[in-house]
Amino acid sequence: MALHRLTTLTLGVPDPVSVGEYYEDFGLTALGDGRYGTVNGGEQLRLVPADRRRAVALGIACDDADDLDRVGHDLGVLGFASTREEAALTAYDAGTGVEVRVEVAERLVEQAEPGVTLNAPGDVRRRNLRSEAILRDESVLRPRKLGHIVLSSLDEARSRAFFVEGVGFKVSDLTKEGLAFLRCSTDHHNLALREAPLQFVHHTSWELPDVDAVGAAAMAMISKDAERHVWGLGRHYLGSNYFWYLKDPAGNFSEYYSDMDAIVDDAEWEAGLWEGARSFYSWGPPPPEQMRAPEDLAELMMGAHSR
């Protein structure tokens, strides 16, 4: 796959300072000037002032200049304009309102991390020892990378064409409720699109080493402010990842996740069309209504229509 990861997401928010403090608590590293980094991905989040919360720009990595030529050509065939630089190409998706920057960048090399030894019936692997899960230090709670982002689009079909037929994402799964799971790496999804009457970020998702880290990180966030909690702990069906959702001061959901499905051979994966509970989650507490319709959606729509 010529595309191989997300690089940097730029979020527009009314108060970058308070939102930045949230993401520092979340485990991102402050790099200055509204920039925040992950353990393995480097700078992956930028916060800029905006009248309302929204995605401004999204960076996607490719291998070389030939990939940029291909993206520019394919976008042009679809009628999307693009601007080419020496090592990058930018284009605008009107459906999501996001400027997409495809850039030549090194592939992310992630080293395997020491896991947690699990005991199971008839398979006792951890003998006379406490679990590593309760002995690890807080460094395990820092996100390793930006895994995916879920965006609303005023025209989901057109946005999907932009990202799939133009930029080069691949379809992993679709739901009858109108959610498209797309990938630009071996992760099950790096981008999900859904139709909505307003452009906004549903959530960003950040990888942790395992489910113990997901639970511990989320509880640390909630212990500082219980209002941050949204939904979790649970396990998704599409992507199979463990999840816990929290909410930043601007209203964007941020997800801790671990154990995402990996699609390393496209020929071995069959995209499905799903409906009902399986399109949302496998197990966990019932999803709150705000997961389907964020609490500030009506307010955001009124503000957008007043301009």
3 state DSSP class of 276 = helix
State the average pLDDT over residues 217-234: 98
DSSP states of 168-188:
--EEEEEETTSEEEEESSSBS
* All domains in the chain, ordered by first residue: 3-108+141-306 (3.10.180.10)
Confidence of residue 22 (pLDDT cuts 50, 70, 90): very high
Model pLDDT for residues 200-221, shown as the tens digit of each residue: 999 999 999 999 999 999 999 9
Using only the alpha carbons of the chain, give its radius of gyration.
19
Q: Answer yes or no: is pLDDT of 307 > 60.
A: no
CA pair distance 50, 245, nearest whole angstrom: 23
Question: Which residues are paired to 171 by β-bridges?
Answer: 182
Model pLDDT for residues 174-194, shown as the tens digit of each residue: 999 999 999 999 999 999 999
The whole model's pTM is what? Answer: 0.95
| The 191-195 sheet, strands edge to edge | 229-235, 242-247, 253-258, 201-207, 145-153, 191-195, 179-183, 170-175, 272-274
Q: Which tokens belong to 43?
A: 């700078």
Residue found by looking up tokens 């401004």 in the block: 56
Model pLDDT for residues 82-122, shown as the tens digit of each residue: 999 999 999 999 999 999 999 999 999 888 888 899 999 99
Q: Answer yes or no: is pLDDT of 276 > 90.
A: no
Per-residue pLDDT, 299: 83
Return left, alpha or beta for 34; rule: phi > 0 is left, psi -120 to 50 is alpha, else beta.
Answer: left
Model pLDDT for residues 131-179, shown as the tens digit of each residue: 999 999 999 999 999 999 999 999 999 999 999 999 999 999 999 999 9
